[in-house]
Structure 1
Amino acid sequence: MEATEIHPEVSFVVPLYNTGEGLRPLLDAFRALSLPETWELVLVDDGSTDGTAAAARRAVADFPAPVRVVELARNFGEHAAVLEGYRHASGDFVVNLDDDLQNPPGEAVKLVRHLRESDAEVVYSRYAEKKHPWARNVASWLANCCATFLLGKPQDLYLSSFRALRRDLVGRIVAYRGPYPYVDGLILGATNRIATLEVEHVERQEGRSGYTLRKLIRLALSLLFDFSVMPLRIASVLGVLLCVLGGLILTEVVLETLLVGQRQLGWGSLMGALAVFSGAQLLMLGIIGEYVGRAFLTVSGKPQSLVRTLTTHVKPPSS
């Protein structure tokens, strides 16, 4: 359907990836949503290979609210998909949630209410009990610890993908066009007006998480190298410590030669020291190379995401 100008009060952004049979329950949950404010739904298909984008376009033909279906040209990752969804959302309040319904749309309304009543620019969800698998929980814990150390995140703040933002904050973070986005890093760098709200977290009903070990590692690297120079500082400190260690060893050798005379040094200790120093040098080169490579990809214009199709469904007029 031909797109028209839409200015809802609330936008719900949902990234999709091989959602499959879970698409129908997701849309049914939004159909049953009770919200007095005007709202829209933005579905971002992140390069699914199971026909999720086409199924979404068919399923929203009779949807009771405006819907935008954004199909990306390939899989760019959840954070790139969320940012693309933010760019196509037009609400005064923007909530993003996953497609697995572990965060019911009714809980998203609570985030909007809390955001509207506070002076915060973003409200993060927190859970009394998370229903993710243990491996996902461990990965989330590690990511939050790294964000605290590298980005200065408050220790009592849990970085959840279920969050609500004001329009002004959305406008600030979507200006980022780097090829390796990290939404929480952008938010922490753009505001200090952050609130939290405890919401319900339920068991996943359909399919399994799209996060693989490779994607988790990629996310960790984005956190390390795109939003912090801490690895370079750590490499500098390591270099200083190794120089001091080398100086101490050299001093010990000179003193031993002067006081005791020359001795035949052990081959094992020599090889061990060589391995430590060589490994440290390669580690530092690797860290510097990672920064240089990412800077090159950013300067050369590696796209953050590419939209293949954009379909807008406008709510039919009431009879």
Structure 2
Amino acid sequence: MKKLSIVVPCYNEELTIHPFLEATQKVEAQMADQLIFDYIFVNDGSKDKTLEVLRQVAGQFENVHYLSFSRNFGKEAGLLAGLEAADGDLITVMDADLQDPPELLIEMFAKIEEGYDVVGTRRADRKGEPFIRSLFAKTFYWLINKISSTEMVDGARDFRLMTRQVVDSILELKEVNRFSKGLFSWVGFDVAYVAYENRERVAGETSWSFWSLLRYSMDGFINFSEAPLNLAMWSGAGAFVLSLLGIAFVVIRKLTIGGSIAGWASTVTIILFIGGLQLLALGIIGKYIAKIFLETKKRPVYLIKEKG
């Protein structure tokens, strides 16, 4: 019988772990003749009693295990640690807040049996989500698919069921600056998606603010596209061409009409414009250099303080 490893990154999820296990164990009972369930919770430096709850459930259930980081390293580190610890024939990634419906595992496993390598989930709508967050999310997916060769499905969740081969392929990607949504797509394989209605958290509050999501989306642009660098290059080229046209205009005016262009406002405006373009280009280049700097350090993505 095949083994299913369920990877669950946790940050301040003390209120959701028990409801998550209760819901998932119902599905486990329904699939008892098909899969052996194994749970791997990753405590990402939680500030609440998440670790205490994980110790409790690990002592209560033989198939529940946990890793606890020495500090908060971020969800990407939690995903990587869980995938590296998972030894199942099939692996899935789920959030503890039950926004990823456990009952979908039945349909997802059926599609794996049909021959798919990956079965992902995507939200059919964004009901209950703030309008500004939905707008920026849709804009992100539209833009990233325009400027990147790696297609990312709008509304796709990290919740996906993967074969051992797919996970091994993902783990071969050794980069420190990880953007899992892109990595899941980049490795390819035969993928099917299951749509479902958006769900609210079962308890607690999300740790993802608008600004943290915005920073995360910027990582996606940097990690999977050279478009920002091209923007800097073409902005510089455009400013150079405009400056040549300006010089030609001044020279021709001087030769044909005489006199000089009066006023300092236009001069200051041009200087500010060119300076702004230079700072924009330096900022974009600096972002890429920072990523290179972090990669060359070869620091571990996470440090484990405790296992159970």
Q: Normalised by the size of structure 1, how large is the TM-score?
A: 0.87
- Following TM superposition, where does structure 1 have runs of at least 4 consecutive aligned residues deviating by more than 6 angstroms? none
Q: Quick check: 2:39–2:64 contact (8 Å CA) kept in 1? A: yes
Structure 1 residue 136 displacement after superposition: 4.0
The residue number in structure 2 matching 1:44 is 42
Q: Does 1:108 align with 2:105?
A: yes
Q: Which residue of 1 aligns with 2:10?
A: 16
Provide the C-alpha distance between the structure 1 equivalents of 2:284 and 2:76, rounded to a whole number of angstroms. 23
User: Structure 1 counterpart of 2:7, which letter?
Assistant: V
Identify the match of residue 233 of structure 1 among 230, 234, 241. 230
Relative to 1, partners in 2 of residues 1:154 and 1:288: Cα closer, same or farther, differing over 3 Å? closer
Judged with a 3 Å threshold, the aligned counterparts in structure 2 of structure 1 residues 138 and 98 are, in CA distance, closer, same or farther, namely: farther
Tell me: CA distance 1:78–1:138, structure 2 relative to 1, closer, same or farther (3 Å).
farther
Query: Which structure 2 residues correspond to residues 1-319 of structure 1 after superposition, within 5 A?
Result: 8-33=2-27, 34-35=30-31, 36-63=34-61, 66-119=63-116, 121-134=117-130, 135-154=132-151, 158-191=155-188, 193-311=190-308
The residue aligned with 1:316 is none
* Cα distance in 2, alignment partners of residues 174 and 37 from structure 1: 23
Task: Tell me which amino acid in the other structure corresponds to 1:219.
Answer: Y
Partner-residue secondary structure (3-state), 1:61: helix
Note closer, same or farther for the CA distance 1:217–1:29 as it changes in structure 2 (3 Å cut). same
**Cα pair distance change 1:193/1:261, threshold 3 Å:** farther
Larger RCO: Structure 1 or Structure 2 (Cα < 8 Å, ≥ 6 residues apart)? Answer: 1
Query: What is the distance in 2 between the residues matched to 1:8 and 1:272?
Result: 67
How many residues are aligned here? 303
Q: Tell me, what secondary structure is at the counterpart of 1:38?
A: strand
Q: Deviations over 1:51-110 (max 9, x none)?
A: 2022112123232x6122011121122122112111111122211111111222111332
- Contact kept? 1:177, 1:304, Cα under 8 Å: no
> For residues 15 and 215 of structure 1, what CA distance do their matches in structure 2 show?
17
- Relative to structure 1, the CA distance from residue 192 to residue 279 in structure 2 (aligned partners, 3 Å threshold; closer, same or farther) is farther
Match of 1:317 in 2: none
How many Å separate the matches in 2 of 1:246 and 1:215? 38
1:151 Cα deviation after fit: 2.6
* CA offset digits 1:164-188 (Å, max 9, x no partner): 2221121121233333211111122
Q: Out of 297-306 and 149-158, give the one that drifted further.
A: 149-158
Structure 1 unaligned regions, length at least 5: 1-6, 312-319
Q: Give CA-to-partner distance per residue, 1:131-161, whole Å, 9 cap, x none.
A: 4522443343233224313333447654322
Using a 3 Å threshold, how does the CA distance of structure 1 residues 71 and 143 change in structure 2: closer, same or farther?
farther
Compared with structure 1, are the counterparts of its residues 108 and 178 closer, same or farther at alpha carbon in structure 2 (3 Å cutoff)?
same
- Which ranges in structure 2 are unaligned for 5 or more consecutive residues? none
50-59 vs 170-179, greater mean Cα deviation: 170-179
> C-alpha deviations, 1:255-283, integer Å up to 9, x for none?
11111112233211111111110010011
TM value normalised by structure 2: 0.90
| Cα distance in 2 for residues equivalent to 1:155 and 1:185 | 7
Change (3 A) 1:192 1:160: same
Residue identity in the other structure for 1:12? I
Matched residue type, 1:133: E
Q: Is the 8 A contact 1:19 1:99 kept in 2?
A: yes
Quick one: structure 1 residues 174 and 165, their matched pair in 2 at CA, closer, same or farther if it must change by over 3 Å? Answer: same
Give the 3 Å change call, closer, same or farther, for CA 242–192 of structure 1 in structure 2.
farther
Question: Structure 1 CA distance, aligned partners of 2:213 and 2:93?
Answer: 19
Q: Which amino acid aligns with 2:184?
A: I
Aligned CA RMSD, in angstroms, stands at: 2.1
